[in-house]
Amino acid sequence: MRILVTGAAGSIGRVVTLGLCDRGHEVVGLDLVPEPDGFTGAWHTIDCADADAVDEVFGEERLDAVVHLAGHPDEADLPASLTSHVITTAALLDACVAHRVGRFVYASSNHAVGRTPRASLTDGVVPGLLTDQALPRPDTFYGVGKVAAEALMRLYVDRHSIDAIACRIGSFLDEPGTTRALSTWLSPDDCVRMVDAALTAPSPGFAVLYGISDNTRAWWDLEPGRRLGYEPQDDAEAYADRVAVRDVDDAEAAHVGGPFAGAEFYRPALDLRR
Ligand code: 15L
């Protein structure tokens, strides 16, 4: 497949770009910054919130799919979050429709449901695990942006019959470094497996999966991903001996979003002083 990867110079983007090329796909990179050393494919240095620039890229490249990883990976005020996650997604989805690109894979986040208390997970469809049936429950404006981007994907699937998969990524790290990450870790290799499965699953329509490794202490259900062919191979438990216990561990385990659900993230939505 010839795949546009947005945010291709970022930490997830570099891993995904290399991994997809290794699996025989052709990657067209897009980012705010020029290509990293060693990348030899087509590259576009643009802002994917710029709908005209995005449309031009789609006009130039014959694409089969989009993997949308671009976006500020942290909390911001509401307008910035909406631009970073929703406007970029809108520009890309409009271009998909205009240029008949039928597969859209999105780096959503666990923070779309991050304010879900872990204590509430005892009587769900899978006791102790959050499933893809969970209602949106964002923990931050970042999470609100991810929820809204997922809603936009759902709308475009219903209107235009494209396939769109929201990968609610946990903690993408080389290694889990905290107690929470022993539950939420997504290894680099599993991340590539996840994106490849989302790209190649036959006719998923709109689907949500949880982007974590096969962690012994997982908080999210891996079944929605497995239904799409995502078979994670790594387990954070292999690193448990190296993870130091911290005072904040209990507070971080109260909600699935961890620290993002804490009071230190509370701020006005329209913080004009920033
Ligand atoms: C995310 O979605 C964020 O981009 C990242 O900064 C971490 O907070 C991660 O989730 C996580 O929950 O560990």
In order, the DSSP letters of 26-89 are: EEEEEESSPPPTT--S-EEE--TT-HHHHHHHHHHS--SEEEE--S--S---HHHHIIIIIIHH
CATH number for the domain harbouring residue 86: 3.40.50.720
In percent, the amount of the chain with pLDDT more than 70 equals 98
User: Residue 272 — very low, low, confident or very high, per pLDDT cuts 50/70/90?
Assistant: low
User: Residue 23 — very low, low, confident or very high, per pLDDT cuts 50/70/90?
Assistant: very high
Nearest CA to ligand 1 atom 1: 109
In percent, the amount of the chain with pLDDT more than 90 equals 95
pLDDT given for residue 274 in this prediction? 55
CB atoms within 10 A of CB 61: 18
Q: Which among 74, 171, 220 is the best mutation to test ligand 1's pocket, defined by most ligand atoms within 8 Å of the CB?
A: 171
Q: Decide: 178 in ligand 1 pocket, CB within 6 A.
A: no
Say how far apart CA 9 and CA 31 lie, in whole Å: 6
Residue 107's beta-bridge partner residues? Answer: 167
**Residue 271 forms part of a structural domain:** no
pLDDT given for residue 31 in this prediction? 98
**Residue 192 forms part of a structural domain:** yes
**Residue 164 forms part of a structural domain:** yes
Q: What angle do CA 137, 130, 17 make, to 5 degrees?
A: 85
Give yes or no for a contact between 81 and 139, defined as CB atoms under 8 angstroms apart: no
Q: Which residue has the higher pLDDT, 271 or 212?
A: 212
Please tell me the pTM assigned to this model. Answer: 0.97
Mean pLDDT, residues 3-24 taken together? 98
Say how far apart CA 137 and CA 269 lie, in whole Å: 16
Range of the domain at 43: 2-265
**Residue 153 forms part of a structural domain:** yes
Give yes or no for a contact between 189 and 18, defined as CB atoms under 8 angstroms apart: no
**Residue 26 forms part of a structural domain:** yes
Q: How many domains does the chain have?
A: 1
**Residue 168 forms part of a structural domain:** yes
pLDDT per residue over 144-195, tens digit each?
Answer: 999 999 999 999 999 999 999 999 999 999 999 999 999 999 999 999 999 9
User: Residue 122 — very low, low, confident or very high, per pLDDT cuts 50/70/90?
Assistant: confident
User: Mind telling me the catalytic residues?
Assistant: 142
